[in-house]
Amino acid sequence: MITERKSGVLLHVTSLPSYGGIGDMGPAAYEFVEFLASAKQRLWQVLPLNPTGYGNSPYAAISAFAGNPLLISLERLVRDGWLYQGEIEGLAGHGDPTDFDRAGREKQPLIERAAKRFLECDNTILQDKFARFCDAHAAWLTDYVRYVVLRRMHDYACWCDWAPEFAARDPKALAKFDDERCQELDIERAVQFLFTEQWCALKTFCTSRDIAVMGDMAIFVNYDSADVWTNKEVFRLDKEFKPTVVSGVPPDYFSVTGQRWGNPLYDWKLLEKTKFTWWVGRVRRQMELYDVLRLDHFRGFEAYWEIDAAAETAIDGKWVEAPGQKLFKQLKKELGELPFVAEDLGLITAQVDELREEFGMPGMRVLQFGFSDRGAHLHLPHRFVPNMVVYTGTHDNNTTLGWWYEQLNEADRANVVEYLGPLQHPNDVVWAMIRAAERSVAALCILPLQDLLHLGSDGRMNTPANPAGNWSWRYVPEALHPDLAQKLLAITEITDRDGYVEPEEVLVEPHVVEALESQAPVEQAVEEQHS
């Protein structure tokens, strides 16, 4: 439960204007944190930091535990002595949209070179720290590095198409592989160590500026992932390791056939028998990386839409109850308090609300969703409660300016103006929405950086219905102007989201007050109080 009013900014790490063609954990990240601090923002929300597969979506990762190597800063590797300055010259610059393919071609070999040099160094303190990291994370790290090397060895084919002995995880084949490819495996371990070191340093810097970091965790995992390859028994697969049922959502206003996401579904009965060991390990890793964790598709923890794997659409799926209550009780038992935010958008039932409220999790509201009809009014501030997170829009929305000009009809625009008040210029809708979010009773207000920068649809991060051209937006280095920080600071302070603490009242004994009122010497009254 959120008990203190705060505000923050939503920006994925890849959107930073870092050197090397993709945002990373280098100087630009620290400059962004300083910008947040100067505007008294108390939270930085990022998308999942896991290594991505095809499509580069952070929600379609090849591991639910590992970090994305492309987020490692080359400049920090130079500073720490693992690369030479000349080795990183001539790479993609700071200002263009992210080119994931180019970043992979140019950055990945340099990161692996740095990891190899790290392994060869004779710094006992560092090597001991690395050994402790490997031991502490062996439950996922050992098989993740195998998966990465095997995937490369099989020309990035899905694990189900690897040589049968590797797809089936034959113990003898894996033992031989470990022996023959030990150097490559160690390099991938070192890459994960370098990622964790850089991220923890950045998170520590955020803490020093009184800024919490909110991470994001997808409920489902990719079929082509180290997680499914390693833990086949956790998922509902047939004897040939193919999913029998997959994830999605039912038909709704936006799609008459629903959405077939295609992720393998969990064998919740088996997970329950193991006291949710896999989930406990997954969440424990997330809480090492973040202060707060957003749970994507929260309603799937109460009930999920099950689709036959052979079906082409989601239309014939069915709701199946999930053991969310038992899972969260086990997580709380093993990990303590659960600093979760529930992404409770979409088809939400009373049972979903009850599950969220039982564990004190704040839900989400998105202002852009509030103006289409009366049923959408729960996304407007007059319907909010304090234990809630409000956004103007999320990474899946258009920017507010793009939404206003490209998605609203005249009736919807009239509703917006009726609610927010007259606009001197249509472009003023952006800050009118920001002010409405900040003024609301919702304890946490998070704004996409694109809205603060007043960007149109060219600043959109993701269009869910369009699988191409997403996740590539980056802001330009000069965008974080001090004037913008001052403007954000002003609305933050006036809406009591800056962490201001009222001075405590000093209680004075009645006879001291009487002395003051009669203009008697204060010293005499104080002496009487202590006599």
By annotation, the residues acting in catalysis are 296, 343, 396
For residue 90, which of 101, 102, 98 has the smallest C-alpha distance?
Answer: 102
Helix H, strand E, coil C: the string for 242-275 is CECEEEEECCCCCCCCCEEEEEECECHHHHHHCC
Sign of the Cα torsion 120, 125, 126, 129 reads positive
Q: Which of 156, 135, 227, 148 is nearest to 184 (CA)?
A: 148
Nearest residue to 339 via CA among 300, 291, 391, 297: 291
d(CA 490, CA 160): 55
Tokens linked to 279: 């989930």
Residues 6+ apart with CB under 8 A from 450: 399, 459, 460, 461, 473, 475
In whole angstroms, what is the distance from residue 444 CA to residue 500 CA?
Answer: 15
Tell me, what DSSP letter sits at residue 475? -
Do you know the residue count of the chain?
531
Helices 482-494 and 27-38 sit at what angle, rounded to 10 degrees?
Answer: 40
Task: For residue 416, give both structure tokens.
Answer: 């917006």
How many other CB atoms sit within 10 Å of the CB of residue 375? Answer: 7
Return the amino acid letter for 9.
V
Distance CA 195, CA 186 (A): 14
Half-sphere exposure of 463 (CA within 13 A, CB side): 15
Distance CA 98, CA 18 (A): 10
Based on C-alpha coordinates, what's the Rg of the chain? 26
Neighbours of 477 (CB within 10 A): 15
Instruction: Record the tokens describing residue 33, joined without a space.
Output: 């944190």
Six-digit token string for 55: 């499509």
